[in-house]
Amino acid sequence: MIDSRVRASVLASALLCLPTSLYAAPDAAAYTRSIGLREQWQYLTREVAWPAHWTPDGTRFSYRKTVEGGFAFEQVDARTLAKSPAFDPAKMAQGLTVALGYPVDPLRLPFPAFDYSEDGKTIRFQIGEAAWHCGLDGQGCAVEPDQHRPRGFGVVRDLSVPADNRPALSPDGQWQALVEDNQLVLRRPGGKESIHLSRDGSEGDFYDPETLVWSPDSRHIMIYRVRPGYARHVLRVEAAPAGQLQPALRSQLYPKPGDTVDQEQPVLFDVAARREIVIDTALFPNPYALPQPRWRKDGRSVAFDYARRGFQQARVIAVDAETGTPHAAVTENAATFVYADRRYAHDVGGLGDEIIWASERDGWNHLYLIDGRTGRVKTRITHGDWVVRDVVKVDDAKRQIWFAASGMNPGEDPYFRHFYRIDFDGRHLTALTPARADHDIAFSPDMTLYVDTYSRVDLPNIAELHRATDGALVATITKGDDSRLVAAGFRPPEVFTAKGRDGRTDIWGVVVRPRDYDPRKRYPVIENIYAGPHDSFVPKGFWPFGYHSGGDKVIGMQAQADLGFIVVQIDGMGTANRSKAFQDVAWKNLADSGFPDRIAWHRAMAARDPSYDISRVGIYGASAGGQSTLNALLFHGDFYKAGVAYAGCYDNRMDKISWNEQWLGWPVDQSYAAASGVDNAWRLTGKLLMIVGEQDSNVDPASTMQVADALIKANKDFELLVVPGGEHSVGRSTGPIDYVARRQFGFFVRALTGASTPDWNR
């Protein structure tokens, strides 16, 4: 017979292991508090500054910072350090209210940064995807006109839109060049007579005026002749368009993996001789897309960047202006992929004799000085087990490079960005940002000063003005104050590292606990995932409401945690900003998503923390994170028990051409099917909620519906929420009543705790 005291002790221990939701399921008020958390907390900090932007003349710099009730834009005189408003926010809000057609709050202007125009009378900024300009007095607010012909993901021209064919004036002012009836022609300025330079253009093989560039000596022109690719259009029905009863059909130019892209043939013209030189393509076969050509300063050669389709080779091609003979000024080959968005090339002195080139050939992204005539390495400028993240400035006269890097400092988070200066010969490496934090710096146009804005998840932004020659501190500009935010209950996420699948590599993540966290209880775990190979995503800087990358931000994770969960975010292998081998895990392997590293991290966390219940792990993510969420349930259903997948690119053959061919290659092969949530839908275990915007222009929403179709055919249970009129960002709204967030929160309460959720229909 068991002693009553022992029985009571055993019962108490058992109760501690039960889901917390069995004690008290969150009521409607708890959901409302969580959903409104961002709005309640976002304006509680003071003096948290965004990265600075300099005026063109270098006399001032400006930034956005937090103030009572919102944000203010401030400018600083670089000489006197006097501060003043960057513009009149009330007038700016008034001008934008008229232009946008809805009220704009002066303390909540819809852009986080701006740049002054050259004359200082206008500012330019982004609202969503559109470029805008306004006068400093708020007058003339309008979208910047874009006269260029659109291209579907950069590879197929929209031929229904006319190209920008404004005559291109030669540097000497003697000629205008343009395209007439698909042919390249010349005119005298003010004249009407056209002189044909080409005769071989046609509607199916036309000269593109938007690629036309004059040589600096006015003797030559390079232009691309284009054979159009396949103009695939995605069609979407908008079921409930605003202001009308009947549905509307939307069409979008949307090339997909494997589609034929525009074929671009560089053609050189000798203007004086009226001679056309078609350039041999042997050194650049099957280009993915050719960026704009650029002439060297002396006019003796012209260069363009080349990425072979499939992204396993990148080159700078230089073409002799007199003969049209091309040569590979530099070549980068990879057994997996050359990451196109991280390529960097700089012609030293603008002549092409030497090229600063970024390469991962030794397993880490580093800078090399290349002989532009032979393509051979002259000097290895940087080296070590760390990553060059960005080149800020190259000073050809001083033969110095200013760059950002991460992973150089032992014992520090390897994702923190620091800034350095180094000579072309690899000597005199100088650190400019000693603070143990993530840095973002802005140099003055003359490179004499820089503003260093740095932070950590537990350190509000600090902005300092420094002297560029030696890094000396000139003045502290702002120092973020989060005391009111902390008083309201905010706690920075906990940083945690554990070994990955190989038992050696550190995997970094953050942990967010409920504000009423009790270490004696057991909490279900939810992972916020984004595992796109193009970057890393765990927040490294302070701003928890959305400034730094990372999918759903810290406050969104806190809102979910407050309903009785521990919420985490992890960067597993297959993501960027570590070694080449670390990122290469994703090559032709997008189903991996770093899950072996993530699961090892979860297990390490659970071994350290008894409250961390890895028998109940959920996962959520959007876009590529949506794909990873579904794949967690398809391929790791023994570990992940429930998932909310937003706007997922569930089958990479259905998604945009650019992102998918970068990681899965070309031609389309079995690796695409291996990662497909459609082909593998029959594997589903656990509980799934898919959410998609009906008008998603980033990921074809039919991808979601094809998964739904496959799940139905496999007799699987799941939930599906289609938001009428919703875009790719569905679920990222921040208002006090966020239907999509509420659906996610309730789904995890039911799926991971077994508790009921409020009857919202009552």
Are 94 and 230 in a shared domain? no
Question: In angstroms, what CA-CA distances link 633 with 160, 591, 617, 691?
Answer: 43, 11, 11, 16
Quick one: tokens of 24? 């008290």
Q: Is the peptide bond before 56 cis (omega within 30 degrees of 0)?
A: no
In a domain, 568, yes or no: yes
Are 633 and 662 in a shared domain? yes
How far is 554 from 542, CA to CA, in rounded Å? 9
pLDDT score, position 553: 83
Give the CA angle between residues 184, 189, 195 to the nearest 5°: 35
pLDDT reading at 736 higher than 50: no
Which amino acid would we find at residue 751?
A
How far is 52 from 450, CA to CA, in rounded Å? 9
Are 677 and 725 in a shared domain? yes
Are 566 and 622 in a shared domain? yes
pLDDT score, position 22: 46
Are 112 and 249 in a shared domain? no
**Residues 6+ positions from 728 with CB-CB distance below 8 Å:** 623, 647, 693, 696, 697, 698, 699
Nearest C-alpha neighbor of 404 from the set 415, 382, 385, 389: 389
How far is 621 from 633, CA to CA, in rounded Å? 13
In a domain, 246, yes or no: yes
CATH code for position 707: 3.40.50.1820
pLDDT score, position 730: 84
Are 112 and 218 in a shared domain? no
> Residue with structure tokens 């995997």?
507
How far is 74 from 43, CA to CA, in rounded Å? 17
Bridge partner list, 400: 395, 423
SS3 state of residue 597: helix
Nearest C-alpha neighbor of 347 from the set 387, 302, 383: 302
Beta carbons of 92 and 109 less than 8 angstroms apart = yes
SS3 state of residue 207: strand
How far is 316 from 329, CA to CA, in rounded Å? 5
pLDDT per position as a tens digit, 318-352: 999 999 999 999 999 999 999 999 999 999 999 99
Write out the DSSP string of 404-465: EEES-STTS-TT-EEEEEEETTS---EE---SSSEEEEEE-TTSSEEEEEEEETTEEEEEEE
In a domain, 248, yes or no: yes
- Give the full edge-to-edge strand order of the sheet including 142-143: 115-116, 122-127, 130-135, 142-143
**Residues 6+ positions from 411 with CB-CB distance below 8 Å:** none
How far is 720 from 680, CA to CA, in rounded Å? 18
Last residue of a domain, one of 294, 328, 348: 294
Bridge partner list, 507: 498
Binned at pLDDT 50, 70 and 90, residue 712 comes out as very high
The whole-angstrom distance between residue 730's C-alpha and the CA centroid of its chain comes to 17
> Residue with structure tokens 């920075």?
492
Are 109 and 252 in a shared domain? no
C-alpha count within 13 angstroms, C-beta hemisphere, residue 533: 30
Beta carbons of 539 and 550 less than 8 angstroms apart = yes
pLDDT score, position 24: 74
Which amino acid would we find at residue 81?
L
How far is 567 from 350, CA to CA, in rounded Å? 51
Are 94 and 192 in a shared domain? no
Are 162 and 87 in a shared domain? no
pLDDT reading at 551 higher than 50: no
The strand ranges marked E within 239-325 are 248-253, 263-270, 275-278, 294-295, 301-307, 313-320
Are 106 and 159 in a shared domain? no
SS3 state of residue 280: coil
Classify residue 46 by its DSSP letter. Answer: B
- The mean pLDDT value for 237-248 works out to 96
In a domain, 116, yes or no: yes
In a domain, 452, yes or no: no
How far is 85 from 77, CA to CA, in rounded Å? 11
pLDDT per position as a tens digit, 517-538: 999 999 999 999 999 999 999 9
- The mean pLDDT value for 167-193 works out to 97
Give the CA angle between residues 27, 32, 34 to the nearest 5°: 100
- The mean pLDDT value for 452-462 works out to 98
Beta carbons of 351 and 297 less than 8 angstroms apart = yes
Which amino acid would we find at residue 625?
G
Nearest C-alpha neighbor of 85 from the set 731, 635, 77, 673: 77
> Residue with structure tokens 């389309």?
668
In a domain, 396, yes or no: no
pLDDT reading at 432 higher than 70: yes
How far is 734 from 339, CA to CA, in rounded Å? 34
- The mean pLDDT value for 180-195 works out to 96
Domain around 532: 4-35+492-508+518-536+562-753
Nearest C-alpha neighbor of 359 from the set 392, 387, 323: 387
pLDDT score, position 343: 95
Beta carbons of 751 and 668 less than 8 angstroms apart = no
Are 651 and 724 in a shared domain? yes
pLDDT per position as a tens digit, 619-649: 999 999 999 999 999 999 999 999 999 999 9
Neighbours of 158 (CB within 10 A): 15
- The mean pLDDT value for 608-617 works out to 98
Count of the separate structural domains present in the chain: 3
pLDDT score, position 639: 98
How far is 525 from 547, CA to CA, in rounded Å? 25
Beta carbons of 385 and 579 less than 8 angstroms apart = yes
Beta carbons of 398 and 414 less than 8 angstroms apart = no
pLDDT per position as a tens digit, 478-499: 999 999 999 999 999 999 999 9
**Residues 6+ positions from 43 with CB-CB distance below 8 Å:** 66, 68, 69, 70
Nearest C-alpha neighbor of 394 from the set 349, 358, 433: 349
pLDDT reading at 476 higher than 80: yes
Quick one: tokens of 172? 């000497």
Beta carbons of 709 and 702 less than 8 angstroms apart = no
In a domain, 652, yes or no: yes
Quick one: tokens of 494? 């906990």
How far is 545 from 48, CA to CA, in rounded Å? 12
Nearest C-alpha neighbor of 141 from the set 186, 85, 71, 93: 93
The strand ranges marked E within 468-564 are 473-479, 494-499, 506-512, 523-528
Quick one: tokens of 372? 């532009």
Percent share of the chain, pLDDT over 70: 95
SS3 state of residue 358: strand
Determine what percent of the chain falls in helix, strand and coil, rounding each to the nearest 5.
20, 35, 50
How far is 190 from 479, CA to CA, in rounded Å? 58
Last residue of a domain, one of 294, 313, 330: 294
In a domain, 475, yes or no: no
Handedness of CA 347, 352, 354, 359 (dihedral sign): positive
pLDDT reading at 552 higher than 80: no
How far is 598 from 575, CA to CA, in rounded Å? 12
pLDDT score, position 546: 75
Are 227 and 85 in a shared domain? no
Last residue of a domain, one of 145, 178, 213: 145
- The mean pLDDT value for 287-314 works out to 98
pLDDT score, position 326: 98
pLDDT reading at 225 higher than 80: yes
> Residue with structure tokens 């993501």?
575
pLDDT per position as a tens digit, 4-49: 333 333 333 333 444 443 447 999 999 999 999 999 999 999 999 9
Neighbours of 574 (CB within 10 A): 24
Write out the DSSP string of 210-230: GG-EE-TTSSEEEEEEEE---
